[in-house]
Amino acid sequence: MINRIRDIRKDKGLTLAEVAERCDPPTTAQTIGRLETGMRSLSLDWMNRIAAALEVDPEMLVKGEDTAEAQVVARLTDAGAEALSAPRAAMLPTDLNSGAPLVCLTVEAAQGEYRAGDQVWLRQFPLEDVSRMINRDVLVPRSGGRFAFGRLIDRNGEMVGLLPPGTGQRQIVIDKPAWLAVAEMLVRKL
């Protein structure tokens, strides 16, 4: 088995020391480094501890040797496309789990900046976390199994106000939504 600890840690922008501190009980950066490189065996106990520290499911830390997966092979800089010194595994939106569920909105008709065929990946949070979503695109459940989507522009108690992405549309006010999902990633086909 090949582990993906380093890829996940780097995608989350964490150092070895930060992951070591997040482990319960805390460990050393050297130990995390040895587990990443395979110099130390990755036991089930270590998998669970590191997965909790990285906020991912434990099975995300390992991959089968025969598993075909998407690769990051280049990066686009001011000078143009440059090859990476070594390809690395690409993280998919569902790979990085912060503990909050992911939902996906598919765009069937162009509205504002969104084109038909786009997928908007959103992270679901309770209403209490709404203050960090102001001026971000959100999906909000409404009564009768319906939803509202737009820029979160206002909160007044348990009411939230959204501005839909299309031009000339009026503000939508939703009272006591069960949750809000904030846009994290746009997937657009070329």
Q: How far is CA 91 from CA 8, 15, 60, in A?
A: 8, 18, 10
Task: Please state the rounded mean pLDDT for residues 71-82.
Answer: 75
**What's residue 138's pLDDT?**
92
Identify the H or E element spanning 48.
helix 44-54
- Tell me the whole-structure pTM to 2 decimals: 0.56
CB within 8 Å of 69: residues ≥ 6 apart: 63, 89, 90
Q: Check pLDDT > 80 for residue 111.
A: yes
How confident is the prediction for the chain on average, in pLDDT? 84
Cβ pair 137, 120 in contact under 8 A: yes
CB-CB neighbours of 140 under 10 Å:
22
- Find where tokens 């008709």 sit: 109
**What's residue 133's pLDDT?**
87
Task: Please state the rounded mean pLDDT for residues 120-129.
Answer: 85
Q: Check pLDDT > 60 for residue 66.
A: no
Q: Is 87 helix (H, G, I), strand (E, B) or coil?
A: strand
pLDDT digits (tens, 9 = 90+) for 132-175: 889 999 999 988 888 999 999 988 888 899 999 888 889 999 99
**What's residue 82's pLDDT?**
79
Q: Check pLDDT > 80 for residue 76.
A: no
Report all structural domains of the chain as residue ranges with CATH numbers, in order of start. Answer: 2-65 (1.10.260.40), 102-187 (2.10.109.10)
